[in-house]
């Protein structure tokens, strides 16, 4: 073989040999950036509902999709940090839990699709143009938290018939919690209840709020938020020691540690439905074209164990309407 022909053969081989190697390299899996508002322990069941539905839709972690998990622990600075990290990682879609995490993701990107779960006021918060036509890169599921405040107070009065003085605790770093607190105050004033509010921003504020409270209320309304969810056991334990019945906006998990009653959107259902949004986006749909949905399932849960400890006797009528009674 002539030298020129041999060199030409080598050159041709060099262009052919790398092709099989490139073909064998696995393609990068589409990646979900999951930003929880609290902690894994406080929101694990909601996450499980989300991932279970993903698997049903053929998005299997490690095989057809990758998931990056981050937990804000009720802190806005953590939300901002993790949202920025997702942008650097170039994830394909960001899933956010609640309003502060969604606000952080919105601040971090106007390009990567964002699916929010349980945002209280997506239009008022500036996440979407309207529920029917979100516009932009954000869509998801609202939990209607502020609108339910009056109904929660009604249930609380049924369990605590002598209710005259109401305390409200809310994380004022969460705009929707502030909005909910205002809704509760308005409803309480309509019912002729005296109201005291306790603003928290971090874990250390919780114990101090109870020190200030010191017998100044007949019941406690806890505004739902990543901070209050993550510290639900601490809040409920302190309330039980103070012999304060508690009303929570949300799910069964928030009654851990001695909470009395909760009423709100079924988060397991919301997180399951959020997986459908992610599925549509990963298959090419645009967030701007996917309407925001509201809750279709609501749960009223009464902790009869706590009621007995506090010497309360919920009516048979209320217990009959409850979706669950903890005994």
pLDDT digits (tens, 9 = 90+) for 62-105: 999 999 999 999 899 999 999 999 999 999 999 999 999 999 99
For residue 128, is it within any domain? yes
Q: Are residues 170 and 303 in the same domain?
A: yes
Number of domains comprising the chain = 2
For residue 84, is it within any domain? yes
Q: Are residues 130 and 190 in the same domain?
A: no
For residue 290, is it within any domain? yes
| Secondary structure of the chain as H, E, C letters | CCHHHHHHHHHHHHHHCHHHHHHHCCCCCCEEEEEECCCHHHHHHHHHHHHHHHHHCCCCECCCEEEEEEECCCCHHHHHHHHHHHHHHCCCEEEEECHHHHHHHHHHCCCCCEEEEEECCCCCCCCCCCCCCCCCCEEEEECCCHHHHHHHHHHHHHHCCCCCEEEEEEECCCHHHHHHHHHHHHHHHHCCCEEEEEEECCCHHHHHHHHHHCCCCCEEEECCCHHHHHCHHHHHHHHHHCCCCEEECCCHHHHCCCCCEEEEECHHHHHHHHHHHHHHHHCCCCHHHCCCECCCCEEEEEEHHHHHHCCCCCCHHHHHHCCEEEC
Q: Are residues 259 and 116 in the same domain?
A: no
Q: Are residues 198 and 210 in the same domain?
A: yes
> Which pLDDT belongs to residue 2?
44
Q: Are residues 256 and 272 in the same domain?
A: no
Task: Report, as an integer, the average pLDDT of 30-40.
Answer: 96
For residue 4, is it within any domain? no
For residue 11, is it within any domain? no
Question: Which one is predicted more confidently, 8 or 47?
Answer: 47
Q: Are residues 177 and 305 in the same domain?
A: yes
pLDDT digits (tens, 9 = 90+) for 264-305: 999 999 999 999 999 999 999 999 999 999 999 999 999 999
Q: Are residues 129 and 236 in the same domain?
A: no
Q: Are residues 157 and 36 in the same domain?
A: no
Q: Are residues 57 and 116 in the same domain?
A: yes
> Which pLDDT belongs to residue 15?
39
For residue 195, is it within any domain? yes
> Which pLDDT belongs to residue 145?
63
For residue 126, is it within any domain? yes
For residue 113, is it within any domain? yes
User: What's the domain range around 132?
Assistant: 31-143+266-297
Q: Are residues 195 and 130 in the same domain?
A: no
Q: Are residues 248 and 303 in the same domain?
A: yes
CATH number at residue 79: 3.40.50.2300
Q: Would the pLDDT of 3 be above 70?
A: no
Q: Would the pLDDT of 326 be above 60?
A: yes
pLDDT digits (tens, 9 = 90+) for 112-150: 999 999 898 899 999 999 999 999 999 999 987 666 888
Q: Are residues 127 and 112 in the same domain?
A: yes
């Amino acid at each position: 073989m002539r030298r020129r022909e041999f060199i030409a053969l080598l050159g041709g081989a060099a262009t052919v040999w790398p092709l099989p190697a490139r073909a064998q390299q696995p393609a990068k899996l589409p990646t979900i950036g999951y930003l929880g508002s609290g902690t894994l322990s406080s929101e694990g069941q909601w996450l499980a509902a989300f991932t279970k539905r993903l698997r049903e839709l053929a998005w299997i972690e490690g095989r057809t999709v990758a998931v990056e998990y981050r937990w804000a622990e009720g802190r806005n600075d953590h939300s901002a940090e993790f949202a920025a990290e997702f942008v650097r990682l170039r994830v394909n879609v960001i899933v956010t839990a609640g309003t502060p995490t969604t606000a952080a993701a919105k601040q971090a990107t106007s390009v990567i699709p964002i699916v929010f779960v349980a945002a209280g006021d997506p239009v008022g918060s500036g996440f979407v143009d309207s529920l029917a036509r979100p516009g932009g890169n954000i869509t998801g599921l609202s939990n209607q938290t502020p609108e339910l405040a009056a109904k929660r107070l009604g249930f609380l009065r049924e369990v605590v018939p002598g209710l005259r003085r109401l305390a409200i605790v809310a994380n004022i770093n969460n705009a929707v919690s502030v909005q909910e607190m205002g809704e509760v105050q308005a409803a309480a004033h309509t019912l002729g209840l005296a109201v005291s509010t306790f603003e928290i921003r971090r874990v250390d504020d919780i114990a101090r709020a109870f020190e200030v409270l010191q017998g100044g209320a007949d019941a406690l309304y806890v505004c739902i938020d990543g901070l209050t969810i993550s510290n639900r056991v601490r809040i409920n334990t302190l309330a039980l020691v103070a012999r304060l019945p508690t009303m929570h906006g949300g799910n069964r998990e928030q009654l851990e540690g001695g909470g009395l009653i909760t009423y709100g959107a079924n988060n397991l259902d919301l997180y399951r439905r959020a997986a459908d949004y992610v599925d549509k986006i990963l298959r090419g749909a645009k967030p701007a074209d996917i309407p925001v949905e509201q809750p279709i399932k609501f749960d009223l849960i009464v902790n009869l164990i706590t009621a007995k400890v506090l010497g309360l006797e919920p009516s048979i009528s209320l217990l009959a309407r409850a979706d669950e009674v903890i005994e």
